[in-house]
Amino acid sequence: MPNEPKSPAGFVAIVGAGPGPADLMTLRALDRLQRAEVVVHDRLISSEVLDLIPATALRVYVGKALGDHAVPQQGIHALLVQHARAGRRVVRLKGGDPYVFGRGGEEVQALQAEGIAFEVVPGVTAASGCSAAAGIPLTHRDFAASCVFLPGHLADDDATHDWRALARPGQTRVFYMGIQRLAQIAERLIAHGLPPETPAAIVRDGTRPTQTVLACSLRRLVERAPAYGPQPGLLIIGETVQLSPDFHAD
């Protein structure tokens, strides 16, 4: 339920837009977007979702790319508070789900600190959307009893995670922003016991018409992976990858 404000103000809906197509948004997300007076949106929101914003609403772009942030995170917090205090219905529109590597938790803390009423509207996160579109189950009774979501930058420091536990069988590993660091991730996992022949996949532009899937062994994936680019991409490592119709065994 939305939090009660400490003083009269507007309202902020932190909305997950899903991985791309508008028809993967929830009905609640669509409702909040179509009633918005201000929309503060990220870089990876598809054009078909942006087209659903009312013509009368103010749009504020705050997108982030590697090394290029249009507005610092603290500036985003200030924007949300400013427009809510002016009595406006604000939508903070994010790709995927706000609480899965979306910094939604930080924005909620900022709104709570200022006594601003808010709600969080969940969205289809990239892991579930892209894996489904690529034919890769995240869990499977025969292959994976668990699934773990991780940020790609984890590979920058070997001491930040229990890589030995991550290399154990029976789990699907999904790395957000993992393509750029594929070689380091593979090196860490293999060094801690993961077989190099473990199935792995890169899904780029997942769920969109431009989706591409490269699925093979982790060893081969490191050799064949495309160069990192501006397209959103996901790295999935685990036995369930072999179920994808795009999987090619060595």
* Beta carbons of 225 and 202 less than 8 angstroms apart: yes
* Beta carbons of 246 and 135 less than 8 angstroms apart: yes
* Beta carbons of 214 and 245 less than 8 angstroms apart: no
* Beta carbons of 83 and 76 less than 8 angstroms apart: no
Instruction: Kindly state the tokens that stand for 228.
Output: 């990192």
Give catalytic status of residue 205 as yes or no. no
Q: Which residues pair with 178 in a beta bridge?
A: none
Rounded distance between C-alpha atoms, residue 102 and residue 22, angstroms: 18
Q: Catalytic: which of 6, 42, 157, 205?
A: 42
Rounded distance between C-alpha atoms, residue 213 and residue 215, angstroms: 6
Q: Which residues pair with 64 in a beta bridge?
A: 69
124 in helix, strand or coil?
Answer: coil
Q: Catalytic: which of 6, 23, 51, 64?
A: 64
Give catalytic status of residue 6 as yes or no. no
Q: How far is CA 48 from the centre of its chain?
A: 18
Instruction: Kindly state the tokens that stand for 215.
Output: 């699925």
User: Is 4 buried (19+), middle (13-18) or exposed (0-12) by CB count in 10 A?
Assistant: exposed
Rounded distance between C-alpha atoms, residue 195 and residue 62, angstroms: 41
Indicate which residues carry an active-site annotation. Answer: 42, 64
